Amino acid sequence: MAAIGPRGDGAGEAAPLTLADYARSARARLAPAVWDFLEGGAGEERTLAANTEAFDRYWLRPSVLRGASRPDTATEILGRRWDAPLAVAPVAYHTLAHPAGEAATVRGTAAAAAVPVVISTFASRAVEDLTGRGVPVWLQVYCLRDRAVTRGLVERAERAGVEALVLTVDAPHLGRRLRDVRNGFRLPAGVVPANLTGGDGFADPSVHAREEFDPDLDWTVLAWLRSVSPLPIVVKGVLTGADAVLAIEAGADAVVVSNHGGRQLDGVPATLDVLPEIAEAAAGRVPLLLDGGVRRGRDVLTALALGARAVLVGRPVLHGLAAGGPDGVTGVLRILLDELTDAMSLAGVRALADITPDLLRRSGDR
Ligand SMILES: Cc1cc2nc3c(=O)[nH]c(=O)nc-3n(C[C@H](O)[C@H](O)[C@H](O)COP(=O)(O)O)c2cc1C
Ligand SMILES: CC(C)CC(=O)C(=O)O
């Protein structure tokens, strides 16, 4: 008989073994328009598809007889020990997936591993309810036209114990997400940004972003953010070596190589494909993180071999949340960790420092 799934209703759903299993389970539980909002990308979704496909172009080159039966996945980034080179990417409105929202995500993450959870400017639970619960919490910052509101959010987060700021730089406005346009997507009643005060009008995220996001930011925004907060600043949304250099020169403490999960400019490359260029330009001056399309433990190994220090995972965490609340989040992160440990062990990698480009072979390369 099949194992009982997270629904626990005896429906005979098999226990999830992969992140794809969690995605299927989430899809069955979410309203179609909510699923489309979470899952979709901009335009023809070419970049969205490219993010996952890029990982499939790499093969692993194992080394044998390395005594790697107990690989060490721990790392240190921005002065903090992480149990694994993984973090939860900022995704708006976790209450779309589960009533406890980000509180469930934090709880579920803490049960899996001590790794950071990045909460969105549009988190749907108060930041004070999320910090001090076993995992570092970072705040993703959209710099709004109203700098006083942005500053208020940052100061509130800092008071609550948030450990770093993640400034998103790829969104002067939201990309054109055709699924949402076709669906006439609106946030369900009660799904609101819990840490933003002043006004409503959030229901259509795209219209709200056009009205409220500062669309004319330049690199001086880093100096401004530095002037309002002593927290480390991580710049999220860089896709070229030249921009990585500008970010570092502007004072970034870390950079996230990201195309916003294919939700902004359709037609930009997969993040994995631009990582080598960015790693070369950054030349080890700041840690590089990568997000977009990480769906298996071995994807983490691939990203690290190409120069990332860690990866962020977005949609799969929401799949876990929708499928099983905090336990689902724990399940998703444990699968990734178990797969990573398994891949390291079988590839003869004892610790993250052993991961080099030699570990990879690209399809078609001799
Ligand atoms: C539903 C959804 C909401 C998102 N909200 C935000 C956000 O508020 N701020 C932000 O910087 N990125 C946001 N992102 C982008 C993620 O942080 C991340 O870059 C992307 O999801 C990574 O790709 P993955 O989903 O393939 O792991 C969002 C992504 C999704 C899917
Ligand atoms: C509510 C949106 C501004 C969140 C976002 O960044 C996204 O949907 O990609």
- Please report the pLDDT score of residue 197 as a whole number: 80
- Please report the pLDDT score of residue 362 as a whole number: 94
CA 58 to chain centre: 21
pTM of the entire predicted model: 0.96
Amino acid at 161: G
Q: Which atom of ligand 1 is nearest to the CA of 122?
A: 8
Q: Which residues, given as ranges, of the chain have pLDDT below 50?
A: 1-11
Rounded alpha-carbon distances, angstroms, from residue 158 to 137, 198, 230: 10, 20, 9
The total domain count for the chain is 1
Q: Is 38 within the bounds of a domain?
A: yes
- Please report the pLDDT score of residue 66 as a whole number: 97
- Please report the pLDDT score of residue 199 as a whole number: 62
- Please report the pLDDT score of residue 9 as a whole number: 45
Q: Which of 35, 39, 51, 91 best tests ligand 2's pocket when mutated (most atoms within 8 Å of CB)?
A: 91
ipTM of the complex: 0.99
Q: Is 12 within the bounds of a domain?
A: no
| Contact between residue 84 and residue 337 where contact means Cβ atoms under 8 Å apart | yes
Q: What six digits make up the tokens of 198?
A: 């002043």
| Contact between residue 307 and residue 278 where contact means Cβ atoms under 8 Å apart | yes
Q: What six digits make up the tokens of 148?
A: 């006083």
Considering every ligand atom shown, identify the ligand nearest to the alpha carbon of residue 263 and give its number: 2
Q: Is 7 within the bounds of a domain?
A: no
The rounded Å distance from CA 205 to ligand 2 centre is: 7
Report d(CA 30, CA 32) in Å as an integer: 6
Residues 6+ apart with CB under 8 A from 199: none
Q: Is 58 within the bounds of a domain?
A: yes
Q: Is 14 within the bounds of a domain?
A: no
| Contact between residue 118 and residue 232 where contact means Cβ atoms under 8 Å apart | no
Q: Is 260 within the bounds of a domain?
A: yes
What DSSP state is assigned to residue 268?
P
The rounded Å distance from CA 119 to ligand 2 centre is: 12
Q: Is 366 within the bounds of a domain?
A: no
- Please report the pLDDT score of residue 12 as a whole number: 55
Minimal CA–CA distance to 225: which of 308, 293, 163, 167? Answer: 167
- The DSSP line for 250-284 is TT-SEEEE--GGGTSSTTPPPHHHHHHHHHHHHTT
- Please report the pLDDT score of residue 14 as a whole number: 86
Considering every ligand atom shown, identify the ligand nearest to the alpha carbon of residue 144 and give its number: 2
CATH code assigned at 242: 3.20.20.70
Task: Give residue 276's domain range.
Answer: 19-356
Q: Is 4 within the bounds of a domain?
A: no
- Please report the pLDDT score of residue 4 as a whole number: 41
- Please report the pLDDT score of residue 201 as a whole number: 84
